[in-house]
Amino acid sequence: MSENLKRLTDQGVSIWLDDISRERLRTGDLQSLIRDKHVAGVTSNPTIFASALSKGDAYDPQLRDLAVRGVDVGEAVRAITTFDIRWAADVLRPVFEATGGVDGRVSIEVDPRLANESSERTVAEARALWWLVDRPNVFIKIPATLAGLPAITQALAEGISVNVTLIFSLERYRAVLDAWLTGLEQAKAGGLDLSKIESVASFFVSRFDTEVDKRLEKIGTPEAQELKGKAAVANARLAYAAYEEVMSGPRWQALRAAGARPQRPLWASTGVKNPEYPDTLYVDQLVTSGTVNTMPEKTLDAVADHGNIDGDTVRPHYEQAWNTMAALKQAGIDYDDVVRALEDEGVEKFVTSWNELLGTVAAELKKAS
C-alpha cells in the first residue's frame, strides 16, 4: 500500500474511487484497489456509466438477454447500472462491515432529468433504486438543486441513505445540511434507527476553479491573474467551516444523542483539469478528518506516487480562505453567478450523459436482437 495513501487515511480522509465499470468488476481490479490503494468506497454518475458502456464487451451477455426479453431502453439502463452497483457493493461489503457501516459505500444517481422536477418524482426514483439495489451499503445520489432539497429530506426520513451531489455554493451547502437534519428529525419521529441512515454531501471542487479562472482570465488584471487556481480550495475550506459550525449546534447534538451519524463532507470533482496545476492539488490541500475524497483513478495514482500529505490543510486556513474570497469579489468575480452557472452546467452535463447512455443501450439492444 502506498505510504501517501496510508497517510491520507491516517488523517481521517476516506479514499473513494470515482469510477465503476463491469470490466473493473469482473477482472478483480476494484478488489485490488481496495487491497493495495486503500479504496474504501465507489461513486458513479451518468458520465461514468456512459463511458463504461462504450468500451469493451463486458456488457454484451446482459445486453443480449435484455434484447431477447424485449425490455425498453429505460428498464435496460436501470438493469445494467444496478447490476454493477450491486456487484461493487458486494465487493466492498467487508469494508462496510469493518468500518461499522461508515465506508464500503457505493453510490448510484437518480435520473438526472429529474433534477428540477417535483420532489415527489425524485423520491419515487430514490425508492425504486433503493429497492432495486437492495444492499445496506448503497447511497442514492440526489442533486442539491432547489427541487432536490425536499427530496433529500424525504428520502432520509424514510431511512434511505443519501449522497447529496452537485453542491457548489456555501449557501446551498447550508441548505443541504438543514435538509439532512430535518430528514433525520423526521426519521427519529417515525421511530427509525438513526444509526442505520448514512449520508455524505458531495461538494464539487475542480469545476469551481475552471469557471472562476475563465472569468479571471477575461478580467485580465494582474490582481485577477494572481488569484487563478485559488478559488476552489478556498470555497471547499469554507464549506468545511460551515459544516463544523452546524455540527456544534443543538440540532445535531440532539440527533447525535439519539444515535445519528454525521453527514460527512465529500470532495468531488477532484481531478485537476488545468495541466499547469499540481495533479494532486485537490487532495493535498483538502486534508482534514471526517471527510471523503472521491478520485478518478488517474488522481488516485498521482497521490500514491507523489502526493504531499502533511497534516490538516483545511482548518488552519479559514482566514486565508475568507481573504481569497474577498479578493475574488474585489477583482470582479460574482460568486452567486458563478455557482448558478456551475449548477446549471452540472445538471446539463449529466442529462447529456444520461441521454448518451440511453442512446448507447438502444443501439446495443438493436444490435443484439
25: phi > 0 → left, psi -120 to 50 → alpha, else beta; which? alpha
pLDDT at 1 over 60: no
Give the model confidence (pLDDT) of 49-92 as tens digits: 988 988 888 999 999 999 999 999 999 999 999 999 999 999 99
Q: Which 3 state secondary structure label does DSSP give 164? A: strand
Looking at residue 110, its pLDDT comes to: 95
Looking at residue 338, its pLDDT comes to: 98
Give the model confidence (pLDDT) of 178-205 as tens digits: 999 999 999 999 999 999 999 999 999 9
C-alpha cell at 349: 452535463
Calculate ∠ Cα 48-54-59, nearest 5°: 95
Active-site residue, from 6, 37, 141, 188: 141
Grid look-up 461493487 returns 88
d(CA 52, CA 319): 42
Contact 181, 141 (CB under 8 A): no
Helix (H) or strand (E) holding 185: helix 170-189
Looking at residue 174, its pLDDT comes to: 98
d(CA 95, CA 173): 28
Phi, psi of 230 (to 5 degrees): -115, -15
d(CA 238, CA 231): 11
Average pLDDT over residues 9-24: 97
Residue with more model confidence, 214 or 360 = 214
Beta bridge partners of residue 329, listed in sequence order: none
What is the pLDDT of the chain when averaged over all its residues?
96
d(CA 348, CA 23): 27
What is the maximum span of the chain, computed from C-alpha positions, in angstroms?
63
Please report, for the chain, the start and end positions of each structural domain, with discontinuous segments joined by +. 3-362
Listed range (12-16, 206-210, 347-351) with the worst mean pLDDT: 347-351
Phi, psi of 39 (to 5 degrees): -70, 130
At 306, the pLDDT band (50, 70, 90 cuts) reads very high
Annotated active-site residue 141? The verdict is: yes
At 368, the pLDDT band (50, 70, 90 cuts) reads confident
Grid look-up 483513478 returns 297
d(CA 312, CA 284): 9
Average pLDDT over residues 309-335: 97
Looking at residue 295, its pLDDT comes to: 97
d(CA 320, CA 28): 43
Q: What is the CATH number of domain 3-362?
A: 3.20.20.70
